Amino acid sequence: MKVNGTHYRSLWWDNDQSVLMIIDQRWLPHEFRIQPVETLEDYAAAIVEMRVRGAPLIGATAAYGMALAAQKDPSDEGLQQAWTLLNATRPTAINLRWALDRCLAALTPLPVADRAAAALQLAHDIADEDVEINRRIGEHGLTLIRDIASRKPAGEPVRLLTHCNAGWIATVDWGTATSPMYQAHDAGIPLHVWVDETRPRNQGALTSWELGSHGIAHSYITDNAGGHLMQHGQVDLVITGTDRTTRCGDVCNKIGTYLKALAAHDNGVPFYVALPSPTIDWTVSDGVAEIPIEDRAEREVSHVQGLLDDGTIGVTQVSPTGTACGNPAFDVTPSRLVTGLITERGICAASEDGLAQLFPDLAAR
Ligand code: MRU
């Protein structure tokens, strides 16, 4: 998508320098910083520190990490070591493991001399596929928004709510939850998006930055405001992303998503999840019991980062000194609270049957 009139992907390969370039998301929305990722350790740190973040983007980054590993040490041991290092970076988003497994499975049967070139091409393919998947999610999600718009008086906006950042910078391009919004806006449908702040890392600020850059009307709201807005008929549709969806349709996404689903259910507001197929974990059925939830640093809760009055970015403490903080980074929304899943192949029920009907080739494996 565009930043100040220039089209960017959230990562790209610099052919001249033979290096991956990323947008360092720790400084957004206040500063747009681009940086290279040069060593395998740097790849791992970029994912751990959330310089890159969002399930699909983590997967694509890891694929480029495997390409670097294949360049430095293409032996079976070298590739396995890289797999282990990168797989340990973040536990919840399944796209990471999906990309690493795909790379390992494609590379190890090849002669060692062919692996570096094949790994780089595979990383490019994974990135390009992500863009196409998200574009298609947008096309399918657009039908939901169009349908709501058709039942409103002309010119009245469709009011959406989203949580976290499932935008283009959480993917390679388009985003998952935002792709229907971008496509609806481009189709001339008036929108207004309620953007949850998403403490503690405030990914809502990233979503607001994205939507603002695309000209989509939105309001940045506190994480606790959504239920009130739904009670007062201010939300027509909720769309969130997902970091891992079980074969039965349970959805694991950023902490707080579950509460939004409960409020949506109580108020009869449709709650959809934008789901690229690499985010389905076909090995898992019960999301609450089986999906590992990342526990992040206390400091992310006790302190906040923001723009200071002098225009610099600073950090300040909000909790009393010495107070223990808890920071579970994701939660699971059971499938019974999910109205539907918006995938690249269409919209389906959040259920084993629904997913299997759209993805018979993947479900059967
Ligand atoms: O901790 P983050 O910022 O990586 O979490 C991101 C999310 O929870 C997104 O909603 C999810 O990855 C879907 S991104 C298309």
Helix or strand or coil: residue 197?
coil
- Asked if residue 133 belongs to a domain, the reply is no
Q: 263 with 329, same domain?
A: yes
**Cα angle value 54/98/70 (rounded, 5°):** 100
Q: 39 with 161, same domain?
A: no
Among the candidates 96, 128, 160, a domain finishes at: 128
Ligand 1 atom nearest the C-alpha of 177 is 15
Q: 57 with 181, same domain?
A: no
Substitution site in 22, 92, 203 for ligand 1 pocket (most atoms within 8 Å of beta carbon): 203
Domain of 268, CATH number, reads: 3.40.50.10470
- pLDDT under 70: residue ranges of the chain: none
Give residue 176's pLDDT: 98
Substitution site in 53, 136, 172 for ligand 1 pocket (most atoms within 8 Å of beta carbon): 53
Q: How many domains does the chain have?
A: 2
How much is the pTM? Answer: 0.98
Ligand 1 atom nearest the C-alpha of 93 is 12
Give residue 365's pLDDT: 76
Q: 123 with 185, same domain?
A: no
CA of 267 relative to ligand 1 center, distance in Å: 25
Domain of 103, CATH number, reads: 1.20.120.420
Q: The tokens 């350790």 sit on which residue? A: 41
Cis status of the peptide bond prior to 200, with omega within 30 of 0 = yes
DSSP string covering 136-177, please?
A: HHHHHHHHHHHHHHHTS-TTPPEEEEE-S--SGGGSSSS-SS
Q: Which contiguous run of DSSP H or E holds residue 306? A: strand 303-307
Q: How far apart are CA 267 and CA 274, in angstroms?
A: 21
Q: 91 with 183, same domain?
A: no
CA of 55 relative to ligand 1 center, distance in Å: 5
Query: Using one digit for the tens of pLDDT, what is the confidence trace for 74-131?
Result: 999 999 999 999 999 999 999 999 999 999 999 999 999 999 999 999 999 999 999 9
Full residue range of the structural domain in which residue 276 is found = 138-363
Q: 72 with 172, same domain?
A: no
Which protein residue's CA is at the shortest distance from atom 15 of ligand 1? 166
